[in-house]
């Protein structure tokens, strides 16, 4: 299992630790359902498929923590800029940082734990 990596141009954030299990890769097919008077379903496919990843880390070292803050604030700038995500299998995809709040907690001395929400956009 490779450690996740963020890449945008020259900027690279290579986490030193891998993701914490269980890994979550939800896919949402956006559709509207309604119950008609005959008891059947009326379905409208609204044309949107949403792919999200939740990246959970435990006990990240200070360097990873500092680098991830820098990425959030200056490179990705929250959800503003896309970047390339290299997952645990080495697959890449364009994503946006969708976490509205960066909140890694220091669970031990200079050890940080938290999650990052990203959404596949490409």
Partner 1 sequence: MISTMTAALQAALSGDSRRPRQLLEIHFPASGIIYLSDQPMGVADGLDHDYLPLVEDWGSLSFSTGDSKARDNGLIRQCSITFWNGGTTPLSDHFIANPVEATEVLHYQWAMGLTEADKFLIDRFRIADPIAFDEASRLLTLDLVSLPYLWDVPVGNRLLQADWPYADPADIGAAIPVALGSPGRIKGLKARVAKGCTLASSVLTTTTTLDVQEDLDTLGLPPSGALQIVSEIVNYTGRTAHSFTGCTRGSAGSEAAQHLRGTELVEHISDHTFVFCEGPVSVVTSVQVKGYPAPDGIYTVDAAANPARVVFSEQPYYERFSAGSRFYEMQFDSTGAGNTALWPTYAYDEDETATGALISYEYPALVITQTDTNTDQGQIRKVYLSVAAFTVGWYAVDRVNVEVSGLGVIGQLTRPDSADQVGIDGEVDVDHGHLHSTGAAHYHSYTGPSISTNNASHAHSSSLSGVESIIPGTIDGYGAPTHIYAYNVDVTKLIVAASPAGTVSRQLSIKGSNQGVGDVTIYVGGTVFPVYQITYAGSFDTTINCALGYDIYIKVRKAGVVNGNCYIERLNMICTASAGIDANVTGVQASVTNPGSVAGQGADNNDDPIKAYDDVHDLAEAGNRSLLINATDNPSRTIVDLFDLTPAVNFDWLWFTGRTVTLRYVNTGDENKDVYILHAHFQIEFAPKEIVYSDDISAEIVAARTTPAESIEFLLTAKAGTAGELLDDASFSATAASHSALNYQLDGLLPGDVTVREAIKNICRQTHSRLFTSAGLVRLVEKTITPPITKALIAADGDLQLRSITINKQPLTEISNRIDLAYDYDQYGDAGYKATVRAENADSVSNYGLRYLPDNYQFDLIRDADMAAKVAAYYLAVDGQPATWYTFNAYLPQLTLEPEDGIQLTANFHGLTATPLVVRCLERRFGSGKNGQINLITITAEKHNYDEADIFSVYAAFAPEILPTEVGDVVNELDHLANIDLSIL
How far apart, in whole angstroms, are the C-alpha atoms of residue 53 and residue 61? 22
Q: Which is nearer to partner 1, 47 or 90 (CB)?
A: 47
Residue nearer to partner 1 on the CB measure, 41 or 101: 41
Nearer to partner 1 (CB atom), residue 26 or residue 40: 40
Residue pair 26/52 in contact (Cβ under 8 Å)? The answer is yes
CA gap 100, 4 in Å, rounded? 20
Instruction: Compute the least distance from the CB of residue 27 to partner 1, in Å.
Output: 15
Q: How far is CA 35 from CA 32, 38, 42, 47, 58, in A?
A: 10, 8, 6, 20, 44
The position carrying tokens 């645990």 is 88
Least distance from partner 1 to the Cβ atom of residue 20, Å: 31
**Closer to partner 1 at the Cβ: 31 or 58?**
31
The minimum distance between CB 58 and partner 1, in angstroms, equals 34
* Residues found near partner 1 in the complex (CB under 8 A): 30-48
Minimum gap (Å) between residue 29 Cβ and partner 1:
10
């Amino acid at each position: 299992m490779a450690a996740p990596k963020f890449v945008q141009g020259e900027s690279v954030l290579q986490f030193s630790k891998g993701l914490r299990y269980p890994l979550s890769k939800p896919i949402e097919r956006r559709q509207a359902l309604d119950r008609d008077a005959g008891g059947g379903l009326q379905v409208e496919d609204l044309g949107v498929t949403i792919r999200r990843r939740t990246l959970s880390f435990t006990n990240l070292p200070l360097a990873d923590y500092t680098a991830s803050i820098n990425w959030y604030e200056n490179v990705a700038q929250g959800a503003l800029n896309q970047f390339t995500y290299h997952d645990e299998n080495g697959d890449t995809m364009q994503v946006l940082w969708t976490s509205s709040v960066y909140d890694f907690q220091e669970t031990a001395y200079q050890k940080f734990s938290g999650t990052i929400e990203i959404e596949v956009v490409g």
